[in-house]
Structure 1
Amino acid sequence: MVVSLLPEERALTTLHTIALAIDTLANSGISPPRLLEGSGVASCDLDTPDKLISHAQELRVFANALACTRDPALGLFLGLRMHVSAYGMLGYTMLASRTLRDALNLALDHSALLGTYFKLSLEAEGDEARLVASGYRYAPELTVFNSELCLTSLLTVLQDLLGKVVQPRRVCLSYRPPLHAASYAEKLGCPVEFCASHTALCFDAALLAQPLPLADPVTSHYGLQQCLKLDAQLNSRHDVLEQIRQHLAGNLRDACDLDSVARQMHRSERTLRRHLQRLNTSFQRLLDEVRYDKARQLLIQTDLPIYLIAEQLGYSETASFRHAFQRWSGQSPSLYRR
């Protein structure tokens, strides 16, 4: 399998979505090891609530799930089972919010805790409200799956928050009708518009002002503080990774091991290693990411010979660089340059 090290796939997320997929598909006789294969996530990780994984790892599990089930409508199936409680503290704080609008704004303000692949926004025009999902830039072969998962999970969340069935006005999708297009209207119970200018779940705007049945101001206040704390922790973990990446990018010739990088960053090797382990990554993976980014830049934007590029990336032998680039991209540096 080609290692995916694109910058947009470095975002971190929780395990809640793949935990749901694994638990749901276990009822169909699909074992966790099959779903986790090639993702770098172990079955025991699912028992660690604060474990974070990359979006690239989650996407691998999704691809495995589609291959195992051969169900093109799997995104619809899983999204309708993605209840608000699956989002942990964020979900419970949404339940305790005063109105539906407050709950949705809370989620949009802390979108990192949702783990979505989209930029979500709430729009209201006349008597229609829209949850718009835009900015998808990940695995193109999973566009339909992730769009289905996103919109149907949002519908499930709306129904959980309001404590009743919500009939969407319509669903808009920016892609062409897939082969299983008939499943949309059947499962969503509303008109579906394909090839639309945006992807959105549309519903009655009057619902936004509706008080939530489980609203509780004390719980809401406490939950908000916890969400802020979790958001800060997630961002701080991102910051550590970016600090290491930035240091490596400027010191590729000398960045031979974590110990030397830790000394240059005035941190302890143990502290950095603990951070990397909690983020389910390693020094070698970060080094590969930075080298791959730099290699692609030099191959496309310069005429430097391959051996000089290898030197700039910290390789003592050109052959080692060639083998590494083949592993990262699935092709040789010379072929990539063409």
Structure 2
Amino acid sequence: MGMSLLPEQRVLTTLHTVALAVQALVRTGVPAAQVLEGSGIDEADLASPARLVSHAQELRVLANAYGYSRDAALGLSLGKGMHVSAYGILGYTMLASRTLGEALQLAVAHPALLGTYFQLSLQTVGDEVRLSADGYRYAPEMTVFNTELCLASLLTVVQDLLGEAVRPRRLLLGYRSPLHAASYGEKLGCPVEFAAGSNALCFNPALLDRPLRLADPVSHQQGLQQCLQLEAQFYSRQDLCELIRQQLASDLCHCTSLERVAARLHRSARTLRRHLQQLNTSFQLLLDEVRYDKARQLLIHTDLPIYLIAEQLGYSETASFRHAFQRWSGLAPSNFRR
């Protein structure tokens, strides 16, 4: 297979987060060159907004910014400055959506255009709607910073879309309370629960039906077409396997066939199958890989019964999951758990 790239070297994104981080630090007296050090991006690049960089380059800049910053809650501060217009055509298509719910679904469906390191989802849990950001698998020492950046920027987007400073009911965070925990309440204006098992902004479900003031069906349709074209550009220069893995990981229950994944990626199943053959792999191998990965996470980090894990992985029979897991790991799921 040769040298396989880390996911953060494959995924491309626009320069807007990098530019924002550089501006924020320059304001506090840190030279731009220091913030960009080692990233392969130079100051002149910041003036060419169409340039794409890899997530690895962006992560390097964010790590530098965090290192030089005197603000422990830098992730929250930067996130609050990321307005909906920072997301280019995706942002404008969101603004032209009919309702807040439709706009957020659009963001969840196009993570590459958001440039996020997380798998986003929008779910109703009990009497609240959760906009969740999970599945972070980049630089572990930047987990807190990147989670803050992600959730604070999503909240800013929600407020921009509704044109008012709505507050979430609460914010859930998967990690333990950091030393700067007090900044969360101050900056986001809502109660925060740490060590909550996932990262999510929780809202009143009625908000999703709120009509957006700038809604425009024609612009929305045109914007959607452009989003798909742009996303294809990001991905034509990126590993197809990674793209399929992302689709699988975000929805294993519905992505159990190549045809379904192809439809979501707006490609034909035949083309997809051919590309996978050229890469010496197959849809089944990728599906197994993602299922095995998720099975291990669920077995280690949750107390879910085996039949529910099987269901979450898209198996209709628990027995099929047990056989598959035994094949992957040499252990029965219940033994792996011990």
Distance across 2 between alignment mates of 1:141 and 1:9: 18
Any conservation in 2 of the 1:133–1:198 contact (CA below 8 Å)?
yes
Distance across 2 between alignment mates of 1:138 and 1:118: 9
Q: State how 1:158-197 maps to structure 2 within 5 Å.
A: 158-197=158-197
Any conservation in 1 of the 2:26–2:32 contact (CA below 8 Å)?
yes
SS of match in other structure, 2:124: strand
Unaligned runs of 5+ in 1: 243-338
CA deviations over 1:62-95 (Å, ceiling 9, x no partner)? 1110111132100011011110000011001100
Distance change in 2, residues 1:180/1:239 (3 Å): closer
Displacement of 1:31 after TM fit? Answer: 1.9
Residue 59 of structure 1 is matched in structure 2 by 59
Residue 91 of structure 1 is matched in structure 2 by 91
Displacement of 1:238 after TM fit? Answer: 1.2
Residue 211 of structure 1 is matched in structure 2 by 211
Displacement of 1:25 after TM fit? Answer: 2.5
Q: State how 1:254-333 maps to structure 2 within 5 Å.
A: none
Displacement of 1:218 after TM fit? Answer: 1.4
Residue 150 of structure 1 is matched in structure 2 by 150
Structure with bigger gyration radius = 1
Displacement of 1:109 after TM fit? Answer: 1.2
Any conservation in 1 of the 2:10–2:238 contact (CA below 8 Å)?
no
Distance across 2 between alignment mates of 1:236 and 1:188: 37
Distance across 2 between alignment mates of 1:21 and 1:8: 18
CA deviations over 1:219-257 (Å, ceiling 9, x no partner)? 111111110110111111115999xxxxxxxxxxxxxxx
Residue 257 of structure 1 is matched in structure 2 by none
Residue 41 of structure 1 is matched in structure 2 by 41
Distance across 2 between alignment mates of 1:7 and 1:199: 21
Distance across 1 between alignment mates of 2:210 and 2:32: 40
Displacement of 1:107 after TM fit? Answer: 1.0
- 1:18 and 2:18 correspond: yes
Distance change in 2, residues 1:107/1:7 (3 Å): closer
Distance change in 2, residues 1:234/1:142 (3 Å): same
Distance across 2 between alignment mates of 1:23 and 1:153: 16
TM-score (norm 1): 0.68
Displacement of 1:7 after TM fit? Answer: 4.0
Displacement of 1:46 after TM fit? Answer: 1.4
CA-based RMSD of the aligned residues comes to: 1.8
Any conservation in 2 of the 1:8–1:137 contact (CA below 8 Å)?
no
Distance change in 2, residues 1:16/1:203 (3 Å): same
CA deviations over 1:158-184 (Å, ceiling 9, x no partner)? 000000111110101111111101111
Distance change in 2, residues 1:209/1:221 (3 Å): same
Distance change in 2, residues 1:52/1:241 (3 Å): farther
Displacement of 1:59 after TM fit? Answer: 0.8
SS of match in other structure, 1:29: coil
Displacement of 1:153 after TM fit? Answer: 0.4
Any conservation in 2 of the 1:9–1:138 contact (CA below 8 Å)?
no
Distance across 2 between alignment mates of 1:108 and 1:20: 22
Any conservation in 1 of the 2:131–2:201 contact (CA below 8 Å)?
yes
TM-score (norm 2): 0.68
SS of match in other structure, 1:88: helix
In terms of mean alpha carbon deviation, does 43-52 or 113-122 score higher?
43-52
Distance across 2 between alignment mates of 1:29 and 1:5: 35
Distance across 1 between alignment mates of 2:237 and 2:45: 18
Residue 101 of structure 1 is matched in structure 2 by 101
Residue 318 of structure 1 is matched in structure 2 by none
Q: Which amino acid aligns with 1:14?
A: T
Any conservation in 2 of the 1:169–1:203 contact (CA below 8 Å)?
yes
Distance change in 2, residues 1:105/1:7 (3 Å): closer
Unaligned runs of 5+ in 2: 243-338
SS of match in other structure, 1:124: strand
Distance change in 2, residues 1:42/1:8 (3 Å): closer
Residue 230 of structure 1 is matched in structure 2 by 230
SS of match in other structure, 2:196: coil
Distance across 1 between alignment mates of 2:231 and 2:60: 25
Any conservation in 1 of the 2:8–2:56 contact (CA below 8 Å)?
no
CA deviations over 1:258-311 (Å, ceiling 9, x no partner)? xxxxxxxxxxxxxxxxxxxxxxxxxxxxxxxxxxxxxxxxxxxxxxxxxxxxxx
Displacement of 1:26 after TM fit? Answer: 2.1
Aligned length: 239
